[in-house]
Amino acid sequence: MSKTSWWVLLGLALLWWLTAGSLRQALPPEPVVIQAGPVGGSFDVHARQYAEQLRAHGFQVEVRNQDESLRIIDRVNDEASGVQIGFSAQRVHVLRHPQVLSAGVVELQPLFLFLRRGIEAPPTLAGLAGRRLVMPPDASITAQAARDVLGRYAVSSANATFSFKPIAEAAAALQRGEHDAGFFMLAPNNALVRRLAADPGLVLVSVGDAPGISRHVDYLKPATLVRGAFDLQRPQPPHDVAMIGAAVNVIVQADIHPAVLYALLHAMNVVHKGQTLVSEAGEFPRQTSAGLALHPLAQEWSRDGTPWLYSHLPSAAAGLVDAYWGPTLVLLTLVSVLGTMRSLSAFIDTVVLAVLLQALAWAQRRVRRHGRPGRLGRLVFRVAEPIILRRGHEQEALARLERLRPHVVADGR
């Protein structure tokens, strides 16, 4: 291969590398980091279920916890945080989180309101004015939803006592009678919810205005916890409970590695495809009504499933092939075109040489017959000479040229 060809291939290889990106970007991250809410909360439970599924796909996974669940989306949006996956159930301002996309909606989490037994349940939430209310930390999704709802009834810290505590402490304080009521936004099968529902000192309050609330607070939707959902024998609850709840988005970084995303989507399907106490089987997960832009690969997955590449190859190998397959095809195409052009050039050279050899042979026969090449013979020589000398063709062509040269010169005189 000539030096020029090597430079061409080197240039194509460089173009291939720049187009495909770095090797680090092609390989899945180590570890995959999931940002969850407080330990024992629903986000924490789901995160650990996802982690188990992701580890089965060969990933190293780290679950991080924080009490301020409203801030999870900030961690996912921050590329320096190392977080690829998180949860959101609040109203989201998309422009503030340009690096965050939704992988899908996985459940409806009700906002549970437990009232200390002995206190008459108010006809509306306006009756909570003057009461001692406890809930998870101020920057939690529960606290945000509770404030948004109570605000529609003119209940605020100006006319009620708001206490914010870590979720486990808030529940324990409510059970000890230190507060009149408590708000908790959790999955209905969460262990903490079941513990509070089973406490004889507490009553689960039905929110009769749930449909109306959902018209005023756009990220909250009506839900119903049916009679006997927790326990049919007692039954618990003793009657249908009208509630409001928020749709939970699993959120991801916009540039999440495809192998991680496909494994996550599989995990979401495994964990959430069954029925819950407030939703039917098959209702979740879904890739619609997310409130956030849906990741395009999640949309494709909902239609076609996991691509063959990621379902049959190890994650690292699939990532490398996926990242470099397109540029490799371009490189191979260019090399093929280059090779084809060289082959075409060689073919044309062969044809030209064959024609020139025949023309020179004709001129030589004319010399043998007539002693001179004539005007046409001289023209053939003048056309053939620069081509043969420039291209350095084989010895036979050069020899014919030299044998004919003296006759052309003499004839030209």
The pLDDT tens digits of the residues spanning 142-186 come to 999 999 999 999 999 999 999 999 999 999 999 999 999 999 999
Q: Which residue has the higher pLDDT, 15 or 389?
A: 389
Domain edge (last residue) among 289, 312, 335: 312
Cβ neighbour number for residue 300 with a 10 Å cutoff = 14
Residue 298: is it exposed, middle or buried by C-beta count within 10 angstroms (0-12/13-18/19+)? buried
Confidence of residue 14 (pLDDT cuts 50, 70, 90): low
As a whole number, mean pLDDT of residues 287-313 equals 88
pLDDT at res. 317: 79
Q: Are residues 227 and 350 in the same domain?
A: no
Within-domain flag for 52: no
Cβ neighbour number for residue 138 with a 10 Å cutoff = 13
Residue 375 has pLDDT above 60, yes or no: yes
CATH number at residue 131: 3.40.190.10
Q: Are residues 357 and 305 in the same domain?
A: no
As a whole number, mean pLDDT of residues 294-322 equals 86
Residue 387 has pLDDT above 70, yes or no: no
Within-domain flag for 343: yes
Q: Which residue has the higher pLDDT, 259 or 5?
A: 259
Residue 276 has pLDDT above 80, yes or no: yes
pLDDT at res. 8: 58
**Domains: count for the chain:** 2
Q: Which residue has the higher pLDDT, 337 or 131?
A: 131
Within-domain flag for 156: yes
> C-alpha angle 169/175/181, rounded to 5°?
90
DSSP letter assigned to residue 298 = H
pLDDT at res. 318: 74
Domain edge (last residue) among 312, 333, 348: 312
CA dist 332 → 44, 148, 367 (Å): 48, 59, 52
- Strands annotated E in 169-299: 181-185, 202-204, 220-225, 241-253
pLDDT at res. 397: 63
Cβ neighbour number for residue 4 with a 10 Å cutoff = 8
Residue 33: CB partners within 8 Å, gap ≥ 6? 61, 62, 63, 64, 81, 82, 83, 84, 85
Handedness of CA 339, 341, 346, 350 (dihedral sign): positive
Q: Are residues 361 and 213 in the same domain?
A: no
Helix orientation angle between 315-370 and 395-412, rounded to the nearest 10 degrees: 40
Within-domain flag for 382: yes
183 in Cβ contact with 165 (< 8 Å): no
Helix (H, G, I), strand (E, B) or coil at 166: coil
CA–CA gap between residue 269 and residue 286 (Å, rounded): 9
CA–CA gap between residue 225 and residue 195 (Å, rounded): 16
Q: Express as a percent the part of the chain with pLDDT over 70.
A: 74
Q: Are residues 303 and 330 in the same domain?
A: no
Q: Are residues 181 and 328 in the same domain?
A: no
CA–CA gap between residue 285 and residue 290 (Å, rounded): 11
Within-domain flag for 22: no
Pick from 94-98, 300-304, 395-399: least confident: 395-399
Q: Are residues 269 and 143 in the same domain?
A: yes
Q: Are residues 156 and 186 in the same domain?
A: yes
Q: What is the mean pLDDT of the chain?
A: 85
CA–CA gap between residue 89 and residue 91 (Å, rounded): 7
pLDDT at res. 70: 96
132 in Cβ contact with 332 (< 8 Å): no
DSSP letter assigned to residue 122 = P
Confidence of residue 347 (pLDDT cuts 50, 70, 90): low
Within-domain flag for 143: yes
Domain edge (last residue) among 312, 335, 364: 312
Q: Are residues 250 and 393 in the same domain?
A: no
CA–CA gap between residue 80 and residue 142 (Å, rounded): 27
Within-domain flag for 90: yes
Q: Are residues 306 and 334 in the same domain?
A: no
Pick from 21-30, 103-112, 130-139, 190-199: least confident: 21-30
pLDDT at res. 326: 54
pLDDT at res. 376: 72
Q: Which domain holds residue 368?
A: 324-412
Q: Are residues 262 and 337 in the same domain?
A: no
Q: Are residues 368 and 220 in the same domain?
A: no
Q: Which residue has the higher pLDDT, 129 or 13?
A: 129
b/e map 65-79, b = 16+ CB within 10 Å:
bbbbbbebbbbbbee
CA–CA gap between residue 31 and residue 43 (Å, rounded): 19
Within-domain flag for 71: no
Scan for tokens 């013979």, then name that residue: 377
Residue 1: is it exposed, middle or buried by C-beta count within 10 angstroms (0-12/13-18/19+)? exposed
Residue 172: CB partners within 8 Å, gap ≥ 6? none
> Nearest to residue 100, comparing CAs of 90, 85, 117?
85
> Nearest to residue 89, comparing CAs of 148, 48, 31?
148
Q: Are residues 127 and 270 in the same domain?
A: yes
Residue 98 has pLDDT above 70, yes or no: yes
Question: Highest-confidence range of 18-27, 91-100, 213-222, 375-384, by mean pLDDT?
Answer: 213-222
Helix (H, G, I), strand (E, B) or coil at 326: helix
72 in Cβ contact with 88 (< 8 Å): yes
Q: What is the pTM of this model?
A: 0.76
Residue 297 has pLDDT above 70, yes or no: yes
Residue 189 has pLDDT above 60, yes or no: yes
